[in-house]
Amino acid sequence: MEKKKVLSGVQSTGRLTLGNYFGAINNWVEMQEEYDCYYMIANLHSLTVRNDPETLKNNTKKIIALYLAAGLDPQKNTLFIQSQVKEHAELSWILNCYTYMGELSRMTQFKDKSEKHTDNINAGLFTYPVLMAADILLYQADYVPVGVDQMQHLEITRDIAERFNKLYGKTFVIPEVYLGKVSSKIMGLQDPTAKMSKSATNLNDVIFLEDEPDLILKKFKKAVTDSENKVQYNPENKPGVSNLMQIYSSATGSTLKEIEKEFEGSGYGDFKTKVAEAVISKLEPIQNKYNDLLNNQGYLEEIYTRGAEKARELASKTLKDVKERIGIL
Ligand code: TYM
């Protein structure tokens, strides 16, 4: 039987965080055995904010290195850069014409981002979810492993696909969101009521995947908790501790119940240190491999060039079908 397909991606803006890792990339590694997986770097999405061109180029390559270092096998997965498969931009234009302004204006990420970047509310920021729909639909993906913050974009993708299928007959697979078991929404360490984000202004709020062990320990030690001194999962009343428990669960594989047991009677100081140690031991081997890979740019180029070729095979087939159906010569 043909394997089900998976597509996901990460934007190449700024430095990746523990949220990107536990919310997305770590789950992808688990999926590679069972599914036919396409993992891309969404560098066209990155243009919705201003980037230094050299930094954008480097970040794009760095993410390929990170995918490999995190354990994605280039023989089993198609790893590629969005801009190197032109079909994404082309399908995105077509789908724009099947997406309503009203739907796009309801996107919470658009509202948030346009509040943050009042000086640059560009049209790309508005149509961003349509490009994301094109990314997914080109590969006829059955599953899209993402964090909770991307769910609304998945819903609009499904709506666009269903609308198109209704008008022209079954063209696209309707994709389903795939959320990880525990860490589909990692919160900030300083403000555990908001998601951990690479654009945080308080650097203690976020663990970057490139952070050194000492710094990781320091940040966890400063993490905001509560005054109960009791390790117990209760996201509503104990958001800080609950978030640390989720992180610990993702890093060790222990369930939340097991974690409550493990730390019964111990204080937050000890708990925070253990969380930091677990994260460090998960990240350290990845960081080492990542640094080695960055010294081997030729190899990285080989991987993403081959990935784009492979991705194009499927993407061009879908785009050809779409064009035939709508009458584009
Ligand atoms: P991006 O780059 O913001 O985030 C990449 C992935 O990381 C997840 N994530 C989190 N998960 C849990 N907790 C957090 N604090 C956290 N922060 C980020 C995100 O949910 C995402 O899965 N538009 C997308 C990139 C994209 C894409 C796609 C994804 C472009 N095309 C097609 C899937 C399919 C984005 O900006 O993700």
Written as one string, the DSSP assignment of 202-242 is SGGG--BTT--HHHHHHHHHT----SS------TTT-HHHH
What does the pLDDT read at residue 117?
Answer: 85
Ligand 1 mean position, distance from CA 25 (Å): 9
pLDDT in tens, 129-157: 999 999 999 999 999 999 999 999 999 99
How many A from CA of 298 to the centre of ligand 1? 27
Task: Calculate the CA 218 to chain-centre distance.
Answer: 25
Distance CA 138, CA 40 (A): 12
Contact between 2 and 142 under an 8 Å Cβ cutoff? The reply is no
For ligand 1, mutation pick of 136, 146, 209 (most atoms within 8 Å of CB): 146
> Domains along the chain?
5-179+296-326 (3.40.50.620), 203-292 (1.10.240.10)
Whether ligand 1 lies within 6 angstroms of the CB of 66 is answered as no
**pLDDT for position 1:** 82
DSSP 7-21: EEEEE-SS--BHHHI
- Tell the burial category of 148 from Cβ atoms under 10 Å away from its Cβ (0-12, 13-18, 19+): middle
pLDDT digits (tens, 9 = 90+) for 221-260: 999 999 999 999 999 999 999 999 999 999 999 999 999 9
Name the phi and psi angles at 5, rounded to 5. Answer: -100, 150
pTM, full prediction = 0.96
Is the minimum distance from the CB of 113 to ligand 1 under 6 angstroms? no
C-alpha of residue 15 to centroid of ligand 1, in Å: 13
> Torsion angle of alpha carbons 142, 148, 150, 151, nearest 10°?
60
- Catalytic center residues: 113, 195, 198
Q: Is 11 in the pocket of ligand 1 (CB under 6 A)?
A: yes
Q: Name the residue with the closest Cα to ligand 1, atom 7.
A: 20
Q: Which helix (H) or strand (E) holds 178?
A: strand 176-178
Predicted pLDDT at 187: 97
Query: How far is CA 209 from each of CA 47, 182, 305, rounded to the nearest angstrom?
Result: 22, 19, 25
Evaluated on CA atoms 253, 256, 262, 267, the torsion sign reads positive
- Per-residue pLDDT, averaged over 39-68, amounts to 97
225 CB under 6 A from ligand 1? no
Instruction: Tell whether ligand 1 has an atom less than 6 A from the beta carbon of residue 189.
Output: no
Q: Decide whether any atom of ligand 1 lies within 6 Å of the 24 Cβ.
A: yes
